[in-house]
């Protein structure tokens, strides 16, 4: 998956939007997302070509700062270029999440402007984040604020990864009836330079067929797998345990329908598994029993369940990935 971030601020020291974008990039990269960031103030002479970069993106983040009124000229110049030179078919398939921080006022209006603009282009919007942050030090000192930013990045990732649908907006109906993109009076060479939108239909068709084949394979496995919640999970985990040096972690897994959590404590090569409440865990997971069975049967990983939304996770992402390395049920 690839997500492009278009930062429309001025790149000033202390800009809260830059802090939010940096934190989101860390979270997305931990989720194995390829992230490309474009600073529009650095590319102000090349903005008319930037819509070309949308062709490889599954989703984008439009990030800007309200310093006195509105989201600023750079981000609007980029949206103008999308309207004039953008591939509307590609935009219709592209998710956009707005990130707007205000140092004065107007963050909600700025966020709404970006949503309305992207919907007018025909694109899909998903929930972003906005806030009033007069001093970036507030973000740097507050773990709670940083957690909100991380959760927002997770939700953006899920929305794009799962291609979540939304109800149609009235703006789209108006656009289809009365909006018309202005004709471009460029030569053929200029048009090709400004808008290189070449899609590989054969590759897309092959990907769809591969995904369908994999879905059929896993569907068959799911249908043939008996459900047995009287299994000895402790023995199954001990059997596949793969110790790793310098590993000191505690995992607490809440299985819906069971009173006590499933707890895994790892101290280098020492493994302790119990079913009772603990505190001080590094990662806390919540899932259905059926999802837990799929993981133990090697049909899904903990990280895969988190990415598809069937597992709710609290804690460190790296430790979540380590859980699959410590217990490689899927081989």
Residue 127 is given by DSSP the state -
Q: 154-167: per-residue pLDDT in tens?
A: 999 999 999 887 77
Helix 73-85 and helix 107-120, axial crossing angle in degrees, nearest 10? 10
Residue 315 has a pLDDT of: 84
Closest CA to 57 of 44, 39, 38: 38
Overall average pLDDT of the 172-190 stretch: 48
pLDDT at 67 over 60: yes
The structural domains of the chain, with segments of one domain joined by +, span: 2-178, 188-224, 233-326
pLDDT at 295 over 80: yes
pLDDT band at 109; cut points 50, 70, 90: very high
pLDDT at 192 over 50: no
- Cα–Cα distance between 6 and 32 in angstroms, integer? 19
pLDDT at 147 over 60: yes
The class that CATH gives domain 2-178 is alpha beta
Residue 197 has a pLDDT of: 38
Closest CA to 126 of 151, 92, 90, 163: 163
Closest CA to 302 of 252, 268, 248: 252
Neighbour tally for 104: CB within 10 Å: 12
pLDDT band at 224; cut points 50, 70, 90: very low
Residue 178 has a pLDDT of: 44
Pinpoint the alpha helices (H) of 86-169: 88-92, 107-120, 137-141, 143-161
Contacts of 150 (CB under 8 A, 6+ apart): 23, 24, 27
What whole-number percentage of the chain has pLDDT above 90? 57
Residue 246 is given by DSSP the state T
Secondary structure of 35-63 as H, E, C letters: EEEEECCCCCCCHHHHHHHHHHCCEEEEE
pLDDT at 18 over 90: yes
Long-range own/partner contacts, residues 308-316 (CB < 8 A, 24 or more apart): 308/161, 308/162, 309/158, 309/162, 311/285, 311/286, 311/287, 312/285, 312/286, 312/287, 313/283, 313/284, 313/285, 313/286, 314/283, 314/284, 314/285, 315/281, 315/282, 315/283, 315/284, 316/282, 316/283
Structure tokens at 164: 């979540």
Residue 174 has a pLDDT of: 52
Lowest mean pLDDT among 44-53, 178-187, 202-211: 178-187
Thinking of the domain 233-326, which architecture would CATH place it in?
2-Layer Sandwich (3.30)
- Are residues 271 and 265 in contact, defined by beta-carbon separation less than 8 angstroms? yes
């Amino acid at each position: 998956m690839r997500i492009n971030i278009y930062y429309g601020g001025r790149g000033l020291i202390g800009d809260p939007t830059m802090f939010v974008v940096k934190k989101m990039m860390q979270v997305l990269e931990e989720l194995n997302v390829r992230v490309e960031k474009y600073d529009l103030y650095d590319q102000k002479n090349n903005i008319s070509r930037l819509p070309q970069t949308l062709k490889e993106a599954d989703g984008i983040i439009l990030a800007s700062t309200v310093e006195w009124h509105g989201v600023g000229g750079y981000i609007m110049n980029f949206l103008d270029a999308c309207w004039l030179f953008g591939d509307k078919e590609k935009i219709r398939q592209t998710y956009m999440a707005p990130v707007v921080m205000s140092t004065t006022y107007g963050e909600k209006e700025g966020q709404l402007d970006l949503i309305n603009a992207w919907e007018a282009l025909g694109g899909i919007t998903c929930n972003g984040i906005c806030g009033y942050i007069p001093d970036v030090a507030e973000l740097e000192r507050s773990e709670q604020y940083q957690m909100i930013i991380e959760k927002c990045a997770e939700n953006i990732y899920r929305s794009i990864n799962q291609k979540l649908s939304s109800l149609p907006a009235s703006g789209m109906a108006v656009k289809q009836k009365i909006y018309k993109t202005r004709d471009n009076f460029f030569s053929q060479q200029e048009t090709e330079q400004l808008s290189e939108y070449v899609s590989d239909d054969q590759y897309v068709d092959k990907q769809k067929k591969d995904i369908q084949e994999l879905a059929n394979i896993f569907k068959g496995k799911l249908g043939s797998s008996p459900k047995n919640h009287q299994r000895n999970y402790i023995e199954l985990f001990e059997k596949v345990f793969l110790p790793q040096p310098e590993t000191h972690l505690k995992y607490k897994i809440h299985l819906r329908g069971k009173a006590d959590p499933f707890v895994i404590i790892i101290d280098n090569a020492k493994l302790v598994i119990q079913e009772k409440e603990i505190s001080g865990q590094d990662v806390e997971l919540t899932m259905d029993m059926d999802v837990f069975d799929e993981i133990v049967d090697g049909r899904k990983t903990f990280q895969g369940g988190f990415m598809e939304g069937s597992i709710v996770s609290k804690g460190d992402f790296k430790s979540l990935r380590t859980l699959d390395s410590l217990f490689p049920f899927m081989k």
